[in-house]
Amino acid sequence: MLAFLFPGQGSQYAGMGKTLSDNFPLARQVFEEANDALSFDLASLCYNGPDDELKLTQNTQPAILTTSVAALRVIQTETDLAPDFAAGHSLGEYSALVCSGALSFVDAVRTVRQRGLFMQDAVPVGVGAMAAVLGLAREPLAEVCEQAAEGQVVSPANFNSEGQVVIAGHTEAVERAMALAKERGAKRAMPLPVSAPFHCALMQPAGERLADVLAEIDMSAMALPVISNVEATPNQDAGRVRDLLIQQVSAPVRWEDTIRQMLALEVDHFVEIGPGKVLCGLMKRMARGSVIQNVQDPDDVRTLISN
């Protein structure tokens, strides 16, 4: 069985999507659709940067989505690959929903632009933080977060793979949790260069604002199941998509559980579609023996075709 995976924030880089657009008119068309939908030159930002503009959450989210969907459209026309499942890491879930047919690309790119703004506005810069904790199991880390909170917010935000969990919350609480995690045996605990504490209770105001945007969007029948970040189980009911996306903003990303669910469903071929190879790196630890590929430029497309 085959699954298409879509990356989230942190995978962006200046130059992404350019060679794909130069070689495939369909990819270029996707970037043009994004420019029209957002009323600014997102394509130029993806192709040329600058990095500091690309790293702004409200730009990063539509940029990664657009690059991912451009690569997806090329795969859909240049190969006969038909996925059995799709999933995306945080923001990437929107790309997966475009793949499934639940969301139109234009609706998705407009929504994630707003999502990025809402998430940035939810917490003033400097008030929140995120950190990666390596080498500490879930239960001990949850206890660390509870003890470090001291009336503030800090909690697991991304369960990326076994022994790799990202925490998020108030800056001081995250710092206390990092120190305590090291005391409890974590191999490393390091702050992440992000502008807001995603996927924790501090994001609830962003979820409430996002609900108003999603209420105006039509969801279409899903051609394949998307394994949601919130539940880590397949969903093919378009009527549930809105609630899952609203919850996703402040709930942890259960990525490790998502991949283990796919493996249990006998998926043995994974294609990461979009910029970077973050998900491929995580997959290699969890899905040994599976075929794991990445598609972000014309050479990757040619490799996919030849295989």
The residue type of 159 is F
User: Is 100 labeled as catalytic in the residue annotation?
Assistant: no
Of residues 199, 295, 239, the one with CA closest to residue 102? 239
Torsion angle, CA of 127/46/61/82, rounded to 10 degrees?
A: -150
Which tokens go with 177? 């949790």
Active-site entry in 21, 170, 199, 228:
199
DSSP string, 105-148: HHHHHHHHHHHHHHHHHHS-TTTEEEEEEES--HHHHHHHHHHH
243 close to 234: Cβ distance less than 8 angstroms: no
> Can you give the C-alpha Rg of the chain in angstroms?
18
Count of CB atoms situated within 10 Å of the CB of 134: 15
User: Is 250 labeled as catalytic in the residue annotation?
Assistant: no
Active-site entry in 90, 161, 228, 250:
90
Catalytic (active-site) positions: 90, 199
